[in-house]
Amino acid sequence: MNKYLSKLDWEIRDLPPSYKAEIMNDYENHFKEGLLAGKTESGIVYELGDAELIAKNIIAEYYTEHPIEADGSEKGPVSFGKALDMIVNVLNLVIAVPFVFCIHLVVISLYISVFAMLAAPVFLLIKLFFPMLPITVGFNTDIIWLNVLICVALAAAGHIILRKFRKYGTAFFKWASGYYAKSFRFIDSKRNK
Amino acid sequence: MDVQFKKGLLELCVLGIVYDRDCYGYELVEKVSEIIDISRGTLYPLLKRLQDERFLEYYILESSIGPPRKYYRITPEGREYFSMQRKEWYNISNSLNKFLEGV
C-alpha cells in the first residue's frame, strides 16, 4: 500500500499542494475502506490500476480544469520544475555568461597579439623611414639586422600560430554567439509574457 | 475499452448513482465498477472535477470503524447536467447502433 501511495505521490509532485493533498487523501482512504471490506492490498492495487497511469490521469484531469494560457503562463502557483528552470537561467546569466565573456576577451586579445606579431616587419619598415615616430619594434637596439631578424621571426611565428589555431578561434566565436543568444532569449521570453 | 471513450460514460454513471441517494467515495467507486469495467483509480480525479464543476458536493461523516467518509450529493445543476447527458447518450447510441447494424 505505501509503495503504491508513495509512487503516486511522487508522480503528481508538481501539482499544487492543496489539490495533491486532497487527492492523496482519497486514495489513502480507498485503501483503508478496501481493507475493511476484506480485500487484500494487492487486490486493491490491481483494481486501482497502474500508479503511473493513474498519476497521468490525475494530472490530465487537473489541467482540464486549470488550463495553461496560450503564451505558456500558468494561472496559479508555479510548479517546482518551473522555479528550478528559472533559477538555472538566472545563475547562467549572472555567473556563467560573464565567465564565458572573459574567455571571449582573452581569445580576442590573443588574436590581437598574433596580428601584432604579423605586423612586426611593417612597423619596422615604418620606423626605418620615420625614426621620429614613437614605435618600438623588437629590442631597443641600433643593430638593424638583429631587429630585422626578430621581426621576420615574429611574423613567421605569427603566421604559423594563426594557421594552426584559427579554426579553434572561429569555432569558439561561433559557439559563443549561439550561447549568448540562448542565454538572452530567456530574458526575452519572460519580457513578452 | 479505451479510457477516453469511457470518460463521458463515467460521468453519467456517477451522477446517475447519486441521483437518488448520497454515497460515500469508496461505495461510489465500487458501484461504478459494477456498471463499467474501469481502473478504479481514474474515478477519484473525476469526482474532484464534478465537484469543482458544482455538479456534486460532499459532506463528511465520521465512521466508527474506519476513516471519515466523504459523502457525495448531487446538486440541482448536477441533475440538469445528468438529464442533458443522458439524452445525448440515447441520441448517439441509437444513431450509432443503427449505423453499425448496417455495416
Question: DSSP labels for chain A?
Answer: -HHHHHHHHHHTTTS-HHHHHHHHHHHHHHHHHHHHTT--HHHHHHHH--HHHHHHHHHHHHHHHSPPPTTS--SSSPPHHHHHHHHHHHHIIIIIHHHHHHHHHHHHHHHHHHHHHHHHHHHHHHHHH-TTS----SSS-S-HHHHHHHHHHHHHHHHHHHHHHHHHHHHHHHHHHHHHHHHHHHHHHHHT-
Mean pLDDT calculated for residue range A31-42: 94
End-to-end CA distance of chain A: 43
Mean pLDDT calculated for residue range A18-27: 94
pLDDT at A193 over 50: no
| Preferred mutation among A9, A24, A26 to probe B, highest tally of B CBs within 10 A | A26
In 3D, which of A24, A192, A191 has the Cα closest to residue B67?
A: A24
Residue pLDDT, tens place only, B49-60: 999 999 999 999
User: Which three cell numbers mark A39?
Assistant: 480485500
Quick one: closest CA in B to A51, which residue? B41
Using an 8 Å CB-CB cutoff, list chain B residues near A54.
39, 41-42
CA pair distance A36, B24, nearest whole angstrom: 14
* Cβ separation A28–B41 shorter than 8 A: no
Residue pLDDT, tens place only, A72-94: 555 555 567 777 878 888 888 88
CA pair distance B23, B32, nearest whole angstrom: 11
pLDDT at B1 over 60: no
* Cβ separation A30–B52 shorter than 8 A: no
Do the beta carbons of residue B14 and residue B48 sit within 8 Å? no
User: Looking at CA atoms only, how far is residue A71 from chain B in angstroms?
Assistant: 25
Mean pLDDT calculated for residue range A166-192: 81
Query: What's the pLDDT at A147?
Result: 78
Pick from A102-111, A141-150, B23-32: least confident: A141-150
User: Looking at CA atoms only, how far is residue A49 from chain B in angstroms?
Assistant: 5
In 3D, which of A179, A177, A157, A175 has the Cα closest to residue A167?
A: A175
The one-letter amino acid at A90: V
pLDDT at A23 over 70: yes
- Which of A:56-95 have CB within 8 Å of B? 57-58, 61-62, 64-65
Tell how far CA A30 is from the center of its chain: 45
Per residue, the 3-state secondary structure of B4-34, as one string, reads: HHHHHHHHHHHHHHHHHCCEEHHHHHHHHHH
Consecutive H or E run containing B75:
none
* Cβ separation B45–A57 shorter than 8 A: yes
- Higher pLDDT pick, A175 / A186: A175
Quick one: closest CA in A to B42, which residue? A54
Q: Which of A26, A29, A64 sits opposite B49 (nearest CB)?
A: A64
Q: What are phi and psi of B70, to 5 degrees?
A: -90, 110
Query: What's the pLDDT at A130?
Result: 79
What's this model's pTM, rounded to 2 decimal places? Answer: 0.57
Q: Collect all residues with Cβ–Cβ distance below 8 Å to B70 and sequence separation of at least 6.
A: A26, A29, B24, B25, B58, B59, B60
Buried b (16+ CB within 10 A) or exposed e, A80-91: eeeeeeeeebee
Q: Collect all residues with Cβ–Cβ distance below 8 Å to A113 and sequence separation of at least 6.
A: none
Do the beta carbons of residue A87 and residue A186 sit within 8 Å? no
